[in-house]
Amino acid sequence: MSTNLQIQSRDDYMQSGGVVWNRLRSERGDICEALLKECVPRYETQAGAPRLSHEEAMHAATWHRELLQARLRKIDDALDRLMSGSYGLCCKCGRWIEDTKLDFDPAIAFCIDCWQRMQTRH
C-alpha cells in the first residue's frame, strides 16, 4: 500500500511540475543575476562591521561565487530531472524523496538515507 502512496505522490508532483519548474527557474534567474553583479568585488561594509582587507574581500567574493555556482548546478540538475521524468527520485537509489523535502528544496537530489550515508563518508 505504501508503494501506491509513493506512486500517487510522484504523480502529484509530475502534474504540478509547472509550479516546481517555475520555482526552480525563478531561483535560477536570481542566482544568474547575483553572479553577474558579483563580477566586481565590493568593499563596503555595514555600519559597525569591521572593514575587510582586499584579500579578505576577494576570498569572501570567491567563496560566495562558488556557493552560487554550486546551487546553480543543483538547480540545473533538478530541471534536467523534471524534463526526463525522474524528478523526485533519489539519484542514488531511485526511491521517492519525501514530499516535505522536495517542498523545502525542490533541487534536492537524494533521499534522506542516501544523503546521510554520503555525509558520514566525508
Q: What is the pTM of this model?
A: 0.74
Q: Is the pLDDT of residue 17 over 70?
A: no
In the CATH scheme, what is the code of domain 2-87? 1.10.287
pLDDT of 71 = 98
pLDDT of 22 = 92
pLDDT of 107 = 97
Contact between residue 78 and residue 90 where contact means Cβ atoms under 8 Å apart? no
pLDDT of 2 = 45
Burial class (CB in 10 A: 0-12, 13-18, 19+), 65: middle
Q: What is the pLDDT of residues 78-121, one digit of tens each?
A: 999 999 999 999 999 999 999 999 999 999 999 999 999 999 98
Dmax (CA) for the chain in angstroms is: 60
pLDDT of 1 = 42
Contact between residue 94 and residue 40 where contact means Cβ atoms under 8 Å apart? no
Contact between residue 105 and residue 71 where contact means Cβ atoms under 8 Å apart? no
Q: How many CA atoms lie within 13 A of 76 on its CB side?
A: 8
Range 81-119 burial, b when 16+ CB lie within 10 A, else e: bbeeeebbbbeeeeebbeeeebeeebbbbbbeebeeeee
Q: What is the pLDDT of residues 28-78, one digit of tens each?
A: 999 999 999 876 555 555 555 667 788 888 888 899 999 999 999 999 999
